[in-house]
């Protein structure tokens, strides 16, 4: 197979490339490295040949925008960038399969249990809205061109040297200032990047929209205590909810100068899990539990 992986120098993109590179001809597209070096939000790529499979993992990752220009970046990169990619692909020849890496942020939920793919997409933030619009672009394009389309809605990604919130948690534990809040009981969905990469091999030829999780949904306490043990650090202290709530209110007043606010405290102390039974039934999804991965001191 001839395969194109966009965002190939990213956390997930690297894993996807490694999964396929030993048995297929894989081209990569990224901003500053790879076979095609391009900013998709600015330009339409010119490819040398057609591909059998395209895995679109490039995009602006979830963050809280601090200005209108930062909000616009989500649209430019995740929507306009996707449209430019599809246009470039059309010019060189249609693939058989297209996989788009989306996010559970499309549901617009800050709390909930076993949210499945039938849930209404109700995102209100710039990131979630951009992913919804990109999903629609991809699905319409695939249907119009008779391409098998697959959408993967992913939660927090886990792997070696993780970025984002998990990376920040590890740094805080190592420096001794991480706290579990309200007992760290809140459960969150997570998934291993290596399992996602393997899943694409099977799902790409079938098509569909899938949530992917490890199926267990570990709590903050389970993750933080396992990480502390792995790094030979003290177990994190617990901050009572009453204190955390006061800090959240203080953050509401001080704004960006303070690390937390009431909304962030609410998210940290609420369960947010997603149902992956569709992937299990239709594609045989059988992921590794996150805690087993962490206990093996992989991160």
Q: Per-residue confidence of the chain (299 residues) as pLDDT tens digits?
A: 899 999 999 999 999 999 998 888 999 999 988 899 999 999 999 999 999 999 999 999 877 767 788 889 999 999 999 999 999 999 999 999 999 999 999 999 999 999 999 999 999 999 999 999 999 999 999 999 999 999 999 999 999 888 888 888 899 999 988 989 999 999 999 999 999 999 999 999 999 999 999 999 999 999 999 999 988 899 999 999 999 999 999 999 988 778 888 988 998 899 999 999 999 999 999 999 999 998 887 67
Q: In this predicted structure, what is the pLDDT of residue 78?
A: 96
Is residue 139 situated within a structural domain? yes
Q: In this predicted structure, what is the pLDDT of residue 165?
A: 82
3-state DSSP assignment of residue 130: helix
CATH number reported for the structural domain that contains residue 110 in this entry:
3.40.50.720
Is residue 46 situated within a structural domain? yes
Is residue 229 situated within a structural domain? no
Domains identified in the chain, total number? 1
* 235 CB neighbour count, 10 Å cutoff: 13
Tell the burial category of 69 from Cβ atoms under 10 Å away from its Cβ (0-12, 13-18, 19+).
Answer: exposed
Is residue 84 situated within a structural domain? yes
Q: In this predicted structure, what is the pLDDT of residue 295?
A: 85
Residue 288 token pair? 């590794």
Q: In this predicted structure, what is the pLDDT of residue 280?
A: 98
Q: In this predicted structure, what is the pLDDT of residue 1?
A: 87
Asked whether the beta carbons of 231 and 294 are under 8 A apart, the reply is no
Question: CA-to-CA distance for 86 and 56, rounded, in angstroms?
Answer: 10
Is residue 175 situated within a structural domain? no
Is residue 222 situated within a structural domain? no
Question: CA-to-CA distance for 71 and 123, rounded, in angstroms?
Answer: 14
Can you give the residue range of the structural domain that contains 102?
2-157+191-213+273-287
Residue 245 token pair? 């709530």
Q: In this predicted structure, what is the pLDDT of residue 82?
A: 98
Is residue 223 situated within a structural domain? no
Is pTM beyond 0.75? Reply is yes
Is residue 140 situated within a structural domain? yes
Q: In this predicted structure, what is the pLDDT of residue 91?
A: 96
Q: In this predicted structure, what is the pLDDT of residue 207?
A: 97
């Amino acid at each position: 197979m001839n395969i194109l992986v966009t965002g190939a120098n990213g956390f997930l993109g690297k894993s996807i490339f490694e999964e396929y590179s030993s048995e297929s001809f894989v081209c990569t597209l990224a901003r500053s490295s790879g076979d095609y070096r391009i900013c998709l939000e600015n330009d339409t790529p010119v490819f040398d040949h057609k591909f059998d499979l395209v895995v679109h993992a490039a995009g602006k990752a979830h963050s809280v925008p601090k200005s209108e220009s930062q909000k616009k970046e989500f649209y430019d990169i995740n929507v306009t960038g996707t449209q430019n990619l599809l246009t470039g692909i059309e010019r060189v020849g249609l693939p058989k399969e297209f996989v788009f890496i989306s996010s559970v942020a499309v549901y617009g939920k800050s709390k909930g249990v076993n949210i499945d793919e039938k849930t209404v997409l109700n995102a209100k933030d710039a990131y979630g809205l951009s992913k919804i619009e990109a999903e629609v672009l991809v699905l319409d394009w695939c249907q119009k061109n008779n391409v098998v389309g697959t959408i993967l809605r992913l939660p927090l990604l886990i792997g070696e040297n993780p970025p984002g919130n998990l990376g920040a948690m590890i740094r805080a534990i190592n420096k001794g200032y991480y706290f579990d809040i309200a007992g760290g009981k809140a459960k969150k969905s997570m998934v291993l990047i290596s399992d996602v990469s393997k899943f694409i091999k099977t799902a790409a030829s079938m098509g569909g929209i899938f949530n992917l999780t490890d199926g267990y949904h570990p709590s903050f306490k389970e993750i933080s205590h396992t990480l502390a043990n792995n790094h030979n650090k003290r177990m994190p202290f617990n901050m009572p909810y009453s204190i955390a709530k006061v800090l959240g209110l203080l953050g509401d007043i001080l704004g960006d100068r303070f690390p937390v606010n009431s909304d962030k405290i609410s998210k940290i102390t609420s369960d947010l899990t997603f149902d992956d039974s569709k992937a299990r039934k239709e594609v045989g999804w059988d992921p590794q539990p996150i805690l087993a991965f962490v206990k093996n001191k992989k991160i």
